[in-house]
Amino acid sequence: MLKLNKSLNPLLNRFLYYGGIFDFDSAQKKLNELNLQVESPSLWDNQSKAQALLKERESLKASIDRILNFEQSVIDNTDFLALGEEEGDDILILESEEALIALKKEAARLQLETLLSGEADENYCFLEINAGAGGTEAQDWAEMLSRMYMRWGEKRGFKLELMDENPGDEAGIKSITMQIKGYQAYGWLKNESGVHRLVRISPFDSNARRHTSFASVWVYPVVDENIEVAYEEKDLRIDTYRASGAGGQHVNKTESAIRITHIPTNIVVQCQNDRSQHKNRAQAYKMLKARLYERELRLREEVHNAQSANKTDIGWGHQIRSYVLQPYQLVKDTRTGAEKGNAHGVLDGDIDEFLEAALAHKLAD
């Protein structure tokens, strides 16, 4: 195993020792302790404790491995750069410099990841998108947003599972809910909750006029069985209905889809991705638990800052980010001031700059 050297490289120091965010020695010691506990024959005497222990070890090991891999990349490319300069190899010098520049950006991103220490930041998440007023225009925009997040997740190697989709009347979608399965998915996406605004020349307008459309995004964490979320069955209204999306005759002709409404909070979840009503019901309960848990997390922070699709108009004055495609290209976050000129790249999933800016902004508060 590599022995970390604080004088190795300013780039390495910037990540590993920035403000004491990640104490490598303590983390390695903790991992050794967890490994010993995992090897204990009595580990599974308490399944809940065992699952929590394994999750903690997996998370800590992933963080340590990323640091070690990062350090090795810095060492390798620093050596390649020195070798290129010694032998006058301009190509090797250029490649090494480009790699170090990329590592510098990676250091900043990993630095932020070490600060994802919220109660549910490591969890998978549910992501829900609802079209605002505006008919086909807004529904098409909702579908564009869903594709943006899907592409972002795919680029990170995350798995995506469709939970519910309500197609638009002519194009696009009225609403969609998906589960994004990846380490720290919720931590990265939690600040995406809010209203997103699109400005473009409408492909549905024969007069080629510019239109403004809105859609809301709502992100909440997937919670495991070890987290207790209190609610009473008498506060729930459960409805069954026929699935509205593609899926074959069985899906569309039987009432397999489930909608659960938590009456005290007006939280609504629904699932229709499976042919089995029983499985859809189980998944809907899981989504309800996640929504109630996320609501509690936000109330703990500051209830007046919570951004809820149920309490906020999907329209003018409420957007957290604007995506302008005409007469120029610009995506700008109204909370952080972060902006990017390549709007089409953003809509293709290149949103890391906005996620990082939102996280840094929130941590600075």
| Same structural domain, 19 and 130 | no
Final residue before a domain boundary, out of 90, 113, 136: 113
Partner residues linked to 210 by β-bridges:
201
- The least confident of 91-100, 165-174, 247-256, 261-270 is 247-256
pLDDT in tens, 8-55: 455 555 444 433 345 677 888 889 999 999 888 888 888 878 887 887
- What share of the chain has pLDDT > 90, as a percent? 40
Given this model, what pLDDT does residue 116 score?
A: 75
CATH number of the domain enclosing 344? 3.30.70.1660
Residues 100 and 155 both lie in one domain: no
The verdict on residue 290 lying in a domain is yes
The answer on pLDDT for 5 being more than 70 is no
Residue 20 within a domain: yes
- Whether 91 and 196 map to the same domain: the answer is no
338 and 219 belong to one structural domain: yes
Looking at per-residue pLDDT, the higher value among 156 and 49 belongs to 156
User: 62-71, 185-194, 277-286, 309-318: lowest mean pLDDT where?
Assistant: 309-318
Residue whose C-alpha is closest to residue 166's, from 281, 246, 236: 246
Tell me, yes or no, whether 14 lies in a domain: yes
Name the helix (H) or strand (E) containing 166: strand 159-167
Counting residues of the chain whose pLDDT is more than 70, the rounded percentage is 82
Sequence-distant (≥ 6) Cβ neighbours of residue 89 within 8 angstroms:
83
Is 4 inside any structural domain?
Answer: no
For 215-225, how does the pLDDT look when each residue is reduced to its tens digit (9 = 90+)? 999 999 988 66
130 and 109 assigned to the same domain: no
Domain assignment present for residue 327? The answer is: yes
pLDDT of residue 313: 54
So what's the pLDDT on residue 232?
85
pLDDT at residue 235 is higher than 80 = yes
Confidence of residue 332 (pLDDT cuts 50, 70, 90): very high
Which of 58, 89, 113 is a domain's end point? 113
Indicate the pLDDT class of residue 333, thresholds 50, 70 and 90.
Answer: very high
Domain count, the chain: 2
Encoded amino acid at 22, one letter:
F
User: Residue 19 belongs to a domain with what CATH number?
Assistant: 1.20.58.410
CA pair distance 289, 160, nearest whole angstrom = 19
Residue 138 CB burial class (10 angstroms; 0-12, 13-18, ≥19): buried
Same domain for 158 and 89: no
Confirm whether 3 is domain-assigned.
Answer: no
Taking the whole predicted model, whether its pTM rises above 0.75 is answered as no
Same-domain pairing of 174 and 266: yes
**Alpha carbon distance 342, 42 (integer Å):** 55
Segment 127-145 shows an average pLDDT of: 93
Which of these three, 67, 87, 113, is where a domain ends?
A: 113
Same-domain status, 163 and 294 = yes
Residue 250 has pLDDT above 60, yes or no: no
Range of the domain at 85: 10-113
Q: Do 354 and 269 sit in the same domain of this protein?
A: yes
Asked if pLDDT for residue 124 goes beyond 60, the answer is yes
Query: For residue 245, is it within any domain?
Result: yes
Q: Has residue 199 got a pLDDT over 60? A: yes
For the cut 60, the answer to whether the pLDDT of residue 306 exceeds it is no
Q: What is the pLDDT of residues 52-98, one digit of tens each?
A: 788 778 878 887 888 888 889 999 999 999 999 999 999 999 999 99
Say if residue 325 is in the same domain as residue 230: yes
- Kindly report the CA angle at 11 between 10 and 13, in degrees rounded to 5? 60
Q: Examine the domain organization and report whether 217 and 302 are in the same domain.
A: yes
Contacts with 274 (C-beta within 8 Å, 6 or more apart), sequence order = 256, 280, 283
> Does one domain contain both 150 and 104?
no
Q: Which residues contact 222 (CB under 8 A, 6 or more apart)?
A: 123, 124, 125, 126, 179, 181, 186, 286, 290
